[in-house]
Amino acid sequence: MQVFNFCAGPAMLPVEVMQKAQAEMLDWQHQGVSVMEVSHRSAEFIELAHNAETNLRQLLNVPDDYHVLFMHGGGRGQFAAIAMNLLGESGKALYLNSGQWSKAAAVEARRFAQVDELSIVESMEGKQQVVLPELKSDMGDYRYLHYCPNETVDGIEIHEPINSPWPVIADMSSCILSRPIDVSQFGLIYAGAQKNIGPSGLSLVIVKKSLLELPALPMPSIMDYRITAANESMFNTPPTYALYLAANVFQWLQQQGGIEAMGLKNQRKADELYAYIEQSHFYRSGVAATNRSRMNVTFQLADESLNGEFLAQAKARGLLALKGHRAVGGMRASIYNAMPHQGVVALIAFMDEFARNN
């Protein structure tokens, strides 16, 4: 049975990448050992890490005045690292709250500094919608503005750029590499790896060098952007196997035609799924059309007492991990880069059959 895995994260990886990893598991580059068994300071591994950075820079067209850092600890680690690295003794920051993850980022930053929060989601006719306020420099002396362009749990995406007088920091954990972005519009972009990059335990940070000129709070060295940059992400042993898989995902993306081609493919997958939901009376989306996530499609059954049956039948058909996050309930189909179009076709076919039978 063909299986399609809609898990929000750790998420499915491209099958070609997984097959390559399997083939090389015991013998990487004809060395007779696994890539996870070699020194991160070996010439072979340093070349892998170097290629990973080069390919990522190419994919996202990262300007030269930005560092690309591979770090430990996932997105939550970065919630803390950002505040410790950029706020210093007395810095303040503004956090836009659009759902579960942006809220969690603000909570973590508040451990270290003063954080103002601005809620930007409103409910209109039962649907959640993002309403961006006008941001003016006299609102506060902020070192940065933090937001989450794609809320994995809520299925809310902010499609338009943020017009901000302060450097913009974006948690792109669940939308990185899914569509073209203009890196130069951001002060810092970060992402936990486990959606569109690789396995969990790795995080990616793209940071404008000029943001690191101010002195930082005392912090763990492995979270210090300055130390990480000076040591090319090898101050301590990096999560080498995760980095190897990420490097292969970057190569796979290039083989797919890069981020522009990926963006079109992702748009088509999301459009077809939302179009089906929209015309259905059996399913509904709780997010306004302007803010629907292309990566995490949340939806509800009109009759929620059928949720258990829906999930059980889906699983029996090889459609896995469709249950919504425990904080919001309902259903969620995460359709990251690695999800093929036919996965969405299979999901729609099942949803339609389930609706007709019930």
Confirm whether 101 is a catalytic residue. Answer: yes
Query: Token match 């019930």: residue?
Result: 358
Contact 9, 22 (CB under 8 A): no
313 is in an annotated binding site: no
Of the candidates 171, 224, 265, 269, the residue annotated as catalytic is 171
Note whether 82 and 109 are within 8 A (CB): yes
171 is an active site residue: yes
> Tokens for 112?
């270290």
- Total interface residues for its own copies by CB under 8 A: 65
Q: Which residue has the tokens 């306020």?
A: 133
In terms of Cβ atoms closer than 10 Å to its own Cβ (0-12, 13-18, 19+), residue 352 is middle
The torsion angle over the Cα atoms of residues 315, 317, 321 and 324, rounded to 10 degrees, is -90
Find out whether the peptide bond into 10 is cis, omega within 30 degrees of 0: yes
Cβ nearer to its own copies, comparing 34 with 256: 34
31 in contact with its own copies (CB under 8 A): yes
Q: Which of 9, 91, 187, 324 binds its own copies (CB under 8 A)?
A: 9
Let me know if 195 is a catalytic residue: yes
Is 270 in contact with 61 (CB distance < 8 Å)? no
235 binds its own copies (CB under 8 A): yes
Nearest 5°: CA angle at 325, between 323 and 328? 110
Contact positions with its own copies (CB under 8 A) in 38-97? 38-42, 72-77, 79-81, 84
* Largest CA-CA distance found in the chain, in angstroms, rounded: 63
CB 87, CB 146: distance < 8 Å: no
Beta strand segments in 216-353, E: 283-284, 296-301, 319-320, 331-334
237 is in an annotated binding site: yes
How many whole angstroms from its chain centre is CA 202? 12
205 touches its own copies (CB under 8 A): no
Q: How far is CA 67 from CA 222, 249, 264, 270, in A?
A: 15, 20, 28, 32
SS3 state at 7: coil
Q: How far is the CB of 175 from its own copies (least distance, A)?
A: 17
Q: Least distance in Å: CB of 213 to its own copies?
A: 20
Does 298 count as an annotated binding residue?
Answer: no
Q: Single out the segment in contact with its own copies by CB under 8 A; choices: 24-32, 144-152, 257-265, 270-278.
A: 24-32
Please identify, using beta-carbon distances, which residue of 112 and 350 lies nearer to its own copies: 112
Question: Would you say 263 and 28 are in contact if contact means Cβ atoms under 8 Å apart?
Answer: no
- Comparing CB distances to its own copies, the nearer of 202 and 288 is 202
The one catalytic residue in 28, 154, 166, 195 is 195
**Contact 262/256 with Cβ under 8 angstroms?**
yes
* Cα separations in angstroms, 30 against 24, 25, 87, 152, 204: 9, 11, 47, 40, 29
Q: Which listed range, 132-140, 229-237, 293-301, 343-351, lies at the site for its own copies (CB under 8 A)?
A: 229-237
Q: For its own copies, give the closer residue by CB, 76 or 127.
A: 76
Based on the shown chain and the rule CB under 8 A, indicate whether residue 3 belongs to the binding site for its own copies: yes
CB of 302 to its own copies, least distance (A): 26
Q: Minimum Å distance from CB 7 to its own copies?
A: 5
Nearer to its own copies, 9 or 187 (CB): 9
Strand partners, 127: 124
Q: How far is the C-alpha of 104 from the C-alpha of 110, rounded, in Å? A: 10
The stretch among 51-59, 196-204, 260-268, 346-354 that binds its own copies (CB under 8 A) is 196-204
Q: Is residue 223 part of the contact set for its own copies (CB under 8 A)?
A: yes
Catalytic residues: 101, 171, 195
Residues contributing to the annotated binding site for L-glutamate? 41
Which parts of this chain interact with its own copies (CB under 8 A)?
1, 3, 5, 7-13, 15, 18-19, 21-22, 25-26, 31-34, 36-42, 72-77, 79-81, 84, 108, 111-112, 192, 194, 199-202, 218-223, 235-242, 318, 320-321, 326
Residues contributing to the annotated binding site for pyridoxal 5'-phosphate? 75-76, 101, 152, 171, 194, 236-237
Residues contributing to the annotated binding site? 41, 75-76, 101, 152, 171, 194, 236-237
